[in-house]
Amino acid sequence: MVMKSNKILRLVLIVLLGSVLTVGKQSKALPHVEIATKLGKIILEIDTINARVTAKNFLHHASVGTYNNAVFYRVVKMGNQPKSKVKIEVIQGGLFTDEEIEKHPVIPHESTNLTGLKHLNGTISMARAAPGTASTEFFICIGDQPELDFDGMRNPDRQGFAAFGKVVQGMDVVRQIQQLADKGQLLERPVEIYKMQIKTGQP
Residue 31: closest CA among 19, 11, 45, 17: 45
**What letter does residue 116 receive in the DSSP assignment?**
-
- Percent of the chain scored above 70 by pLDDT? 85
Q: Are 59 and 31 in contact (CB under 8 A)?
A: yes
**Interatomic CA distance for residues 197 and 46, integer angstroms:** 12
The Cβ-side half-sphere exposure at 115, using a 13 Å CA radius, reads 28
pTM exceeds 0.75, yes or no: yes
Percentages (nearest 5) of helix, strand, coil residues in the chain: 30, 30, 40
Output the CA angle 147-80-58, nearest 5 degrees: 55
Q: Are 185 and 74 in contact (CB under 8 A)?
A: yes
pLDDT category at 32 given cuts 50, 70, 90 is very high
CB atoms inside a 10 Å sphere around CB 32: 17
Question: Superfamily assignment of 31-198 in CATH?
Answer: Cyclophilin-like (2.40.100.10)
Q: List, for residues 123-157, the tens digit of each pLDDT value.
A: 999 999 999 999 999 999 999 999 999 999 999 99
Q: Which amino acid is at 93?
A: G
pLDDT category at 199 given cuts 50, 70, 90 is confident
- For 14-23, 41-50, 103-112, which range has the lowest pLDDT when averaged over its residues? 14-23
Ramachandran class of 96: left when φ > 0, alpha when ψ lies in -120 to 50, beta otherwise: left
Instruction: Determine the pLDDT at residue 83.
Output: 87
Q: Are 71 and 198 in contact (CB under 8 A)?
A: no
CB atoms inside a 10 Å sphere around CB 120: 14
**Interatomic CA distance for residues 179 and 191, integer angstroms:** 12
**Interatomic CA distance for residues 119 and 184, integer angstroms:** 23
pLDDT category at 28 given cuts 50, 70, 90 is low
**122-156 per-residue burial string, b: 16 or more CB within 10 A, e: under 16:** bbbbbbbeebeebbbbbbbbbeebebbbbebebbe
